[in-house]
C-alpha cells in the first residue's frame, strides 16, 4: 500500500481552507465515504503516514466541489505549494543551485513524501532528466498532476526557460512504474 506523508495532506487542507473557507472544507467532508471522512475528521499529523488511496478520494471530491471536476487545477495548486516551500524552508536550494541541482533535490524530497514508492532521478543530458516513480498504481494517476506542477514551478523559480514537464509513461498505464520527462534551458 502506498502512503503519503501527513505534511502533504495538511498542505491540501490548509490550501482549501485558505482558498474556499472552513465551510467549504466541511462540505467536502460531508460528501466523503465513511473511511475517508474518518481520516480527515481526526487530527492529521504532519509526521504520520496516510493511505494515498484515501487522500486521492478526498482530492476527487474537492476538485468536483471547487473546480467543477477539472483535475488540471492540481497542477496549478501544487505549483503554489512548491512556490511557498521554495521561497520558505527550501529557499536555500533555489539560491545555491542550478536547475539540475534543484531537480535532483526535489526528486529526493519527493521520496520523503511517499512510502512505498521508489524514485530514481536520471540526468539524460544537460537540461534533460527522467524521473522514474516505481510503486504508484493506476488509481494514483491524480498524483501525477501534482508532480508535474512541482517540477514545473521549481524550474521557473530556478530561472529555467523552455520548461517542459510531462509523463512519458503515465501512472495510469499500469506498468508498475511511471516516468516523468523534465527538460529546460
Give the C-alpha separation, 147 to 162, whole Å.
18
- pLDDT single digits (tens) 61-83: 999 999 999 999 999 999 988 78
- Tell whether 61 and 144 lie within a shared domain: no
- Tell whether 90 and 171 lie within a shared domain: yes
| End position of a domain, from candidates 67, 91, 111 | 67
Crossing angle for the helix pair 22-31 and 52-67, nearest 10 degrees?
120
- Tell whether 123 and 60 lie within a shared domain: no
Look up cell 495538511; give the residue: 10
Q: What's the full length of the chain, in residues? A: 185
Stated as kind and residue range, the H or E segment containing 106 is helix 99-111
Look up cell 530514481; give the residue: 120
Order across the sheet with 128-134: list the strands: 118-125, 128-134, 177-183, 164-169
Give the C-alpha separation, 99 to 47, whole Å.
28
- Tell whether 120 and 137 lie within a shared domain: yes
Q: What tens-digit pLDDT sequence spans the chain (185 residues)?
A: 999 999 999 999 999 999 999 999 999 999 999 999 999 998 999 999 999 999 999 999 999 999 999 999 999 999 988 787 766 655 555 555 678 877 787 777 888 899 999 999 999 999 999 999 999 999 999 999 999 998 898 888 888 899 999 999 999 999 999 999 999 99
Backbone angles phi, psi at 178, to 5 degrees: -135, 145
- Tell whether 126 and 82 lie within a shared domain: yes
DSSP code of residue 1: -
Q: Structurally, how many domains does the chain consist of?
A: 2
Give the C-alpha separation, 59 to 102, whole Å.
27
- Tell whether 85 and 47 lie within a shared domain: no
> Which of 96, 74, 24, 18 is CA-nearest to residue 105?
96
Residue 89: domain span: 73-183
DSSP code of residue 82: H
- Tell whether 119 and 158 lie within a shared domain: yes
pTM above 0.85, yes or no: yes
- Tell whether 62 and 144 lie within a shared domain: no
Amino acid at each position: 500500500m502506498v502512503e503519503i506523508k501527513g505534511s502533504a495532506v495538511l498542505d491540501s487542507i490548509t490550501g482549501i481552507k485558505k482558498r474556499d473557507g472552513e465551510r467549504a472544507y466541511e462540505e467536502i467532508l460531508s460528501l466523503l465515504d465513511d473511511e475517508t471522512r474518518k481520516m480527515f475528521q481526526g487530527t492529521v499529523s504532519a509526521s504520520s503516514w496516510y493511505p494515498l488511496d484515501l487522500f486521492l478520494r478526498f482530492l476527487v471530491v474537492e476538485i468536483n466541489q471547487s473546480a467543477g471536476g477539472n483535475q488540471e487545477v492540481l497542477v496549478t495548486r501544487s505549483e503554489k505549494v512548491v512556490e511557498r516551500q521554495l521561497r520558505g524552508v527550501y529557499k536555500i536550494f533555489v539560491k545555491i543551485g542550478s536547475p539540475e541541482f534543484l531537480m535532483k533535490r526535489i526528486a529526493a524530497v519527493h521520496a520523503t513524501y511517499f512510502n512505498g514508492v521508489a524514485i530514481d532521478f536520471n540526468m539524460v543530458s544537460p537540461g534533460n532528466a527522467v524521473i522514474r516513480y516505481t510503486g504508484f498504481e493506476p488509481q494514483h494517476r491524480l498524483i501525477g498532476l501534482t508532480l508535474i506542477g512541482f517540477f514545473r514551478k521549481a524550474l521557473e523559480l530556478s530561472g529555467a526557460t523552455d520548461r517542459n514537464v510531462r509523463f512519458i509513461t503515465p501512472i495510469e498505464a499500469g506498468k508498475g512504474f511511471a516516468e516523468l520527462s523534465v527538460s529546460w534551458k
